[in-house]
Amino acid sequence: MARLVLKFGGTSVADLERIRTVARHVKREVDAGHEVAVVVSAMAGKTNELVGWVREMPHVAGANAPIYDAREYDAVVASGEQITSGLLAIALQSMGVDARSWQGWQIPVRTDAAHGAARIDSIDAALLSERIAGGQVAVVAGFQGISADGRIATLGRGGSDTSAVAIAAAIGADRCDIYTDVDGVYTTDPRVASKAQRMEKIAFEEMLEMASLGAKVLQVRSVELAMVHGVRVFVRSSFDDPDAQELQTETPVGTLICDEEDIMEQQVVTGIAFSRDEAQISLRSVKDRPGVAAGVFGPLAKAGINVDMIVQIISADGATTDITFTLPEGDYDRAVGILENPDSGIEFDALNGSKDVVKVSVIGMGMRSHAGVAADAFKALSDKNINIRAITTSEIKISVLIDAAYTELAVRTLHSLYGLDAA
Amino acid sequence: MARLVLKFGGTSVADLERIRTVARHVKREVDAGHEVAVVVSAMAGKTNELVGWVREMPHVAGANAPIYDAREYDAVVASGEQITSGLLAIALQSMGVDARSWQGWQIPVRTDAAHGAARIDSIDAALLSERIAGGQVAVVAGFQGISADGRIATLGRGGSDTSAVAIAAAIGADRCDIYTDVDGVYTTDPRVASKAQRMEKIAFEEMLEMASLGAKVLQVRSVELAMVHGVRVFVRSSFDDPDAQELQTETPVGTLICDEEDIMEQQVVTGIAFSRDEAQISLRSVKDRPGVAAGVFGPLAKAGINVDMIVQIISADGATTDITFTLPEGDYDRAVGILENPDSGIEFDALNGSKDVVKVSVIGMGMRSHAGVAADAFKALSDKNINIRAITTSEIKISVLIDAAYTELAVRTLHSLYGLDAA
């Protein structure tokens, strides 16, 4: 017997038929003798509809007031998960499974006051744990909690993954199963590299890099949380037949995200991630003086623009410097506007930039103990005539910025280079 | 300055445009210097959609379990009002009006455990009152509260009227304005009698009879509650232009439901109500013996069938009795089945019945001090050859059961008889 949290996203609960399928997945685990909490998202499309209503609201008055009160946004939007939780509880009951819904405020899941993108402060899981131990399935409305002043607070988009991991930590679950539209985490995106393989296991740190660097299977926040609290997360498909023989086994198809120690044979490189949501800006011949970096990046930070890879090269005479950095594609025009503003006080000869760039990353815990991994990557890309525009590295990843046209070629080249191709 | 509760039903908040119109109604009252709480229903159609989802849910398993868990029904269905409350708060804020939404559990509105049709036990309105007194509009999600075990409980269909009156009582409001799709309470249904007139005022007791006997403008429960707590209820139209000159006055168009003492000139008859949802059953030559009435009505009560008008006539020899009674049309077939069941132990010669009947009622506080009101009604109906199948009376009302075909004729005849016709 184990204690499990099962999380189902919006497409998995998109309509009544799919909610019944989810109930069958849950029943399978209950029948196997496990204690179960389920965390659900809103039915697919529902959150967008609710958000749309909120956004449409203030246009008549057109006041200079903020677009909307985030506490009211939360009251409206959190109703989506509330509906799913009640419907799933009913579906489970109709199959003879004892179940009840739990809203964030009922548990309670306590959050900070950052409505719309709140962080979980703590979860009082005593009652929830007691009920689960008593054999009742807890159906938890994901994505939400209650702030100190008693208002509903949502965790921001994709927050249901975070809810699931947080609940798993709070009730001491043995595993948190994330049911999604893919059957696990792949060495890279199979749509780009057909030889991509599903991993059996991946370490928290690697998954965190994969998620941060472009893999969309899990929210970065939820991976962080899982790593900090040591919650084993299992990514698996919600599109399987819930009663299939393969799912009755102890080792169903999926990818386990776990401690490094739980992975017997750590590979040097685990996966290749890439992100197309990148842009590059280069400032040429910036007058070099103390504080020049702060002069450039201070105004951007103030505008809420997240700068990523930064490369700075001082000219031979030491008088000027070239600064290159990357940023999310959607912030490009705003950033250029800020830097070219004559009042900015930033002196440079020219600004070049491109939105047509992609960041490709090589990730693996084994890189820590293997020299030459980066050099191999640079050589392989160079052999294919792929120009590297910028590089950043950490202990367990190498990221290169290249022209977007070379994305597929670069991903496949690196995927082969590190022996990740399926036979 | 007054303290007001404004209640808006589903059609008044059917879409974003109409919610903005509601916000303008609220703003008008705020601008006039009043302290305001607003109680809202779900957007029209929303509750039906949610209820439909719940009802569809258990059909796959088809267990013999109850159709659904009323606590889960409540969790799902209450989300409709939650959404409206948040959207209206945002609409108000965009017009520069300080406002916040309040869910039933946040106030809290405490209910009993009868989920799906809960009764309000008490309302802790201290915080709500404080905020209202501070100039903030409270936008309250109607139709819901929280039960003793911390679950969301709904008050049953039309419960938002009840919420509004209960909130008005709890915060000591001077008036509870029910905005609806008609501009007040009429002497009878204008679709049936074109000479029907809007009343300026009607006493609680009269309104209670009108609502109980077929007038649909207000929930019976909400009128009871208003009567018990002395909450002045004002029925008015939500389809007026919120900024119309007429609405800026102290005496807008509508009907005030109030204490009898507040009505200067009490008329003998105030209004004519009718209900088409009636059926009649007659048992002929029932063997008369002690307890025969209990023998007939006991099994019906046990089956949850509400019997209304009862007429019993003993035969000349005293050996048998004819029993006639009315019941809701929808319960007719079930009732016949129960009575004709050989195991019922009820002996009678024949069962006649009809679903083609209507109950027409004459209502007025003044009837208490005026003799002959009933006799006038019987004569007027007889003059039109309308056959009366049953009669019940109370201090302030006379109800007659007649063939449905005569509904309009009877209503118009009585409406004229008591001087209610518009000039």
The Cβ-side half-sphere exposure at B387, using a 13 Å CA radius, reads 5
Task: Look at the block and give the residue holding tokens 């936008």.
Answer: B139
Q: Return the DSSP state at B200.
A: S
Using a CB-CB cut-off of 8 Å, the residues of chain B touching A76 are 82-83, 86-87, 90
Q: Spell out which residues of chain A touch residue B53, defining contact as CB-CB under 8 Å.
A: 16, 83, 87
Q: Is there a contact between B327 and B307 (Cβ–Cβ < 8 Å)? A: yes
Enclosing H/E stretch for B226: helix B220-229
Same domain, B236 and B278: no
Identify whether A236 is part of a domain.
yes
Whole-prediction pTM: 0.85
Residue B89 C-alpha, separation from nearest chain A C-alpha, in angstroms = 7
- Please tell me whether residues A123 and A101 are part of one structural domain: yes
CB contact under 8 A, B69 and A93: yes
What does the pLDDT read at residue A204? Answer: 95
Q: How many Å lie between the alpha carbon of A109 and the closest alpha carbon of chain B?
A: 15
State the DSSP H helix or E strand holding residue B92, giving kind and residue range, or none if neither. helix B79-94
CATH number for the domain harbouring residue B80: 3.40.1160.10
Mutation target among A15, A16, A90 for the B interface, most CBs of B within 10 A: A90
B113 class by beta-carbon count within 10 Å (0-12 exposed, 13-18 middle, 19+ buried) = middle
Residue B157: what residue type?
R
- Final residue belonging to a domain, choices A228, A260, A292: A260
Residue A276 in any domain: the answer is yes
Do the domain assignments include residue A284? yes
Name the interface residues of B facing A (CB cutoff 8 Å).
Answer: 16, 19-20, 50, 53-54, 56-58, 60-63, 65, 68-69, 71-76, 78-80, 82-83, 85-87, 89-91, 93-96, 100-101, 103, 105-106, 150-152
- What average pLDDT is seen over chain B? 91
CB A57 to CB B89 under 8 A?
no
Long-range Cβ pairs for the range A307-313 (8 Å, 24+): A308/A278, A308/A359, A308/A392, A309/A359, A309/A390, A309/A391, A309/A392, A309/A399, A309/A401, A311/A390, A311/A391
Instruction: Examine the domain organization and report whether A86 and A129 are in the same domain.
Output: yes
Q: Tokens in use for A339?
A: 């830097």
Last residue of a domain, one of B260, B279, B304: B260
- Name A391's bridge partners: A400
B375: number of Cβ within 10 Å: 10
Cβ separation of A101 and B54 shorter than 8 Å? Answer: no
Hey, what are B189's tokens?
């249904």
Minimal C-alpha gap between B74 and chain A (Å): 8
Radius of gyration of chain A (CA): 24
What is the structure's pLDDT at A423?
81
Q: Is it the case that residue B65 has pLDDT exceeding 60?
A: no
| pLDDT tier at B369, thresholds 50, 70, 90 | confident
Q: Do A103 and B76 touch (CB under 8 A)?
A: no
Q: Is residue B266 part of a domain?
A: no
- Residue B169 domain flag: yes
For residue B160, the distance in angstroms to the closest alpha carbon of chain A comes to 18
Burial class (CB in 10 A: 0-12, 13-18, 19+), A125: buried
Same structural domain for residues A213 and A310?
no
**Same domain, residue pair B106 and B243:** yes
CB contact under 8 A, A54 and B90: yes
β-strand pairing of B99-102 with A397-403: unpaired
Contact A72 B16 (CB under 8 A): no
Instruction: Dump pLDDT digits (tens) for B223-270.
Output: 999 999 999 999 999 887 888 877 777 778 999 999 988 887 778 899
Give the pLDDT of chain A (423 residues) as one tens digit per residue.
Answer: 899 999 999 999 999 999 999 999 999 999 999 999 999 999 999 989 999 999 888 644 444 545 689 999 999 999 999 999 999 999 999 999 999 999 999 999 999 999 999 999 999 999 999 999 999 999 999 999 999 999 999 998 669 999 999 999 999 999 999 999 889 999 999 999 999 999 999 999 999 999 888 888 888 899 999 999 999 999 999 887 888 877 777 778 999 999 988 887 778 899 999 999 999 999 998 887 777 888 888 889 888 898 888 888 888 787 888 889 999 999 999 999 999 988 887 889 999 999 999 999 999 988 888 878 888 999 999 999 999 988 888 889 999 999 999 999 999 999 999 999 988
Indicate if A308 and A401 belong to the same structural domain.
yes
Are A168 and A142 a contacting pair, CB within 8 Å?
no
Residue B359: count other Cβ atoms within 10 Å of its Cβ. 24
Q: What is the pLDDT, as a whole number, of residue B418?
A: 94
Q: Which residues of B touch A15 (CB under 8 A)?
A: none
Chain A: closest CA distance from residue B385 (Å): 55
Residue B303 DSSP symbol = T
B75/A79 Cβ within 8 A = no
CATH code at position B282: 3.30.2130.10
Query: Does some domain include residue A304?
Result: yes
User: Mapped to the 3 state alphabet, what secondary structure does chain A carry?
Assistant: CCEEEEEECHHHHCCHHHHHHHHHHHHHHHHCCCEEEEEECCCCCHHHHHHHHHHHHHHCCCCCCCCCCHHHHHHHHCHHHHHHHHHHHHHHHHCCCCEEEECCCCCCEEECCCCCCCCEEEECCHHHHHHHHCCCEEEEECCEEECCCCCEEECCCCHHHHHHHHHHHHCCCCEEEEEECCCCCECCCCCCCCCCCECCEEEHHHHHHHHHCCCCCCCHHHHHHHHHHCCCEEEEECCCCCCCHHHHCCCCCCEEEECHHHCCCCCCCCEEEEEEEEEEEEEEEEECCCCHHHHHHHHHHHCCCCCCCEEEEECCCCCEEEEEEEECHHHHHHHHHHHHCHHHCCCCCEEEEEEEEEEEEEECHHHHHCCCHHHHHHHHHHHCCCCCCEEEEECCEEEEEEEHHHHHHHHHHHHHHCCCCCC
CA A77, A82, A88, A90 dihedral sign is negative
* Domain closes at, from A260, A289, A304: A260
Residue B349, domain member (yes or no): yes
pLDDT in tens, B291-347: 788 888 888 988 889 888 888 888 878 788 888 999 999 999 999 999 998 887 788
CB atoms within 10 A of CB A352: 11
Burial of residue B31 (number of CB atoms within 10 Å: 0-12, 13-18, 19+): exposed
Domain of A318? 271-417
Find all residues with CB under 8 Å of B162, minimum gap 6, and list them. Answer: B120, B155, B219, B221, B222, B225
**B231 and B287 assigned to the same domain:** no
Buried/exposed code over B384-420 (b: 16+ C-beta within 10 A; e: otherwise): eebeebbebeeebbbbbbbbeebbebbbbbbbebbeb
Token pair of A372, please? 């030459």
Shared domain for A207 and A302, answered yes or no, is no
B90, B96, B151: residue with CB nearest A68: B90
Q: Of A69, A77, A105, A139, which to mutate for an interface test with B (greatest number of B Cβ within 10 Å)?
A: A69
Question: Residue A90 is nearest to which of B68, B86, B94, comparing CB atoms?
Answer: B68
Work out the pLDDT band at B67, boundaries 50, 70, 90. Answer: low
Stretch B147-159: mean pLDDT: 90
Nearest to A387 by CA among A363, A414, A375, A405: A405
**Residue from B56, B94, B95 whose CB has the most chain A CBs within 10 Å, to mutate:** B94
CA B140 to chain centre: 20
Cα–Cα distance measured from residue A209 to residue A204, given in angstroms and rounded to the nearest whole number: 9
Domain total in chain B: 2
Contacts of residue A303, defined as CB under 8 A and 6 or more positions apart, other chains included, come to: A334, A335, A338
Q: Does residue A288 share a domain with residue A311?
A: yes
CB contact under 8 A, B56 and A16: yes
Where do the H-state alpha helices sit in B95-192? 126-133, 159-170
Helix or strand (DSSP H, E) at B295: helix B292-302
Across the A:B interface, residue pairs with CB atoms under 8 Å apart total: 144
Task: Determine the pLDDT at residue B377.
Answer: 92
Chain A residues within 8 Å of chain B (Cβ atoms): 16, 19-20, 50, 53-54, 56-58, 60-63, 65, 68-69, 71-76, 78-80, 82-83, 85-87, 89-91, 93-96, 100-101, 103, 105-106, 150-152
Q: Which amino acid is at A56?
A: E
Considering the domain boundaries, does residue B265 fall inside one?
no
Residues of chain B in contact with residue A56, where contact means CB-CB under 8 angstroms, are: 16
Q: Cβ neighbours of residue B296 under 8 Å, at least 6 residues apart?
A: B283, B286, B323, B339, B346
| pLDDT (0 to 100) of residue B63 | 47
Same domain for B286 and B408, yes or no, is yes
Same domain assignment for residues A287 and A404: yes
**Residue in the block written with tokens 């267990």:** B63
Chain A closest-CA separation from residue B137 CA (Å):
13
Query: Closest residue of B to A58, CA-based?
Result: B94
| In a shared domain, residues A253 and A321 | no
CB within 8 Å: A58 and B91: yes
For residue B370, report the phi and psi dihedrals to the nearest 5 degrees. Answer: -120, 120
